[in-house]
Amino acid sequence: MIFNQSEFDLRLVWGIQGATELAPISDVVVIVDILSFSTAVEIATNNGAIVFPYRWKDSSAQDYAKSMKAELATNRTSTTGYSLSPQSLINISGGTKLVLPSPNGSSLTLLTQETPTLAGCLRNCQAVAQFAQNYGDKIAVIPAGEKWENGTLRPAVEDLIGAGAILSYLSGSLSPEAAAAVAVFDTFKNDLLDVLRKCSSGKELISRGFESDVELAAAINISDCVPVFTQKSYVKLISN
C-alpha cells in the first residue's frame, strides 16, 4: 500500500490507523505517548509493577481489574491511589498489578495483536531503540497524539519529539515521515523541558496542577527499562 511506508525499515504513522496498518508488516511496534501513558508505564514497570492497558474509563474497567486481580488506576485528579499521572507511580511497589485505562496509549497497544510491542518515551528512548532492533529491521514507531473533544486525532508535538528520539537511535532506512520526526527531535533535544512546558499538552497538564508530570516526561535517557507488552500486560525488561 502507498501509505504504509513498507519500502522503508523505519516507519512512522500516527494513532489508530498507524497501529492497525503497520503492526502486521513490522517486526516490532513502539507506542509513544509522552504525556502521559508511555512515561507512566516506564516508571511503573521500572519499579517492578505489571501494567494492564485498558481502553475504556468506564465501569467495565473495574470488572476487568477484578478479572486480572489487579488494582484499577484512579482518575488523575484523585489525591489517592495510582493514576495515569507519572508522579503517582514514582513509589509504586514491585509486583503491583495495575489496570491503566487510556484512550491513546492503551488503545494503540491493544491494536498491535501478535506483533511485539514496546512502550517508548524520552526517559528510555535509547534503551527501547536498542531493544527494538533485536526483533528485526522493520520497526514501526507510532506516536499516539491526543484527542479533540469530538474524538478525532490531535497530533501532539511531544509525541513527534519522542518518536524522533527513538528513531534517532535506530539503524535502517527512514521513511520521510520518520526522518521528519528525527529532525524535530534534533531541533528541540537541548531544550526538552521548555518545549514540553510550552506545547499544548504540557500547558494543559500544568494548568491542571500536573507540572511534575511534565518534568518527569522531559527527562531523557535516564532509564534502561524497556516495557514489553506480553500476556496482556507491560512488564520490565532490561536492555543490554
At residue 56, the pLDDT reads 86
Q: CB atoms < 10 A from the CB of 235, how many?
A: 15
φ and ψ at 224, to 5 degrees? -105, 15
Helix, coil or strand: residue 20: helix
**Cα(76)–Cα(169) distance, integer angstroms:** 32
- Predicted structure pTM score: 0.96
Per-residue pLDDT, 105: 96
pLDDT in single tens digits along all 240 residues of the chain: 789 999 999 999 999 999 999 999 999 999 999 999 999 999 999 999 999 999 988 889 999 999 999 999 998 887 789 999 999 999 999 999 999 999 999 999 999 999 999 999 999 999 999 999 999 999 999 999 999 989 899 999 999 999 999 999 999 999 999 999 999 999 999 999 999 999 999 999 999 999 999 999 999 999 999 999 999 999 998 655
Q: Which residues contact 113 (CB under 8 A, 6 or more apart)?
A: 23, 24
Q: What is the pLDDT of residue 58?
A: 87
What pLDDT score was predicted for residue 102?
93
Core vs surface per residue 21-40: b (16+ CB within 10 A) or e: bbbeebbbbbbbbbbbbbbb
Distance between CA atoms of 211 and 215, rounded to whole angstroms? 6
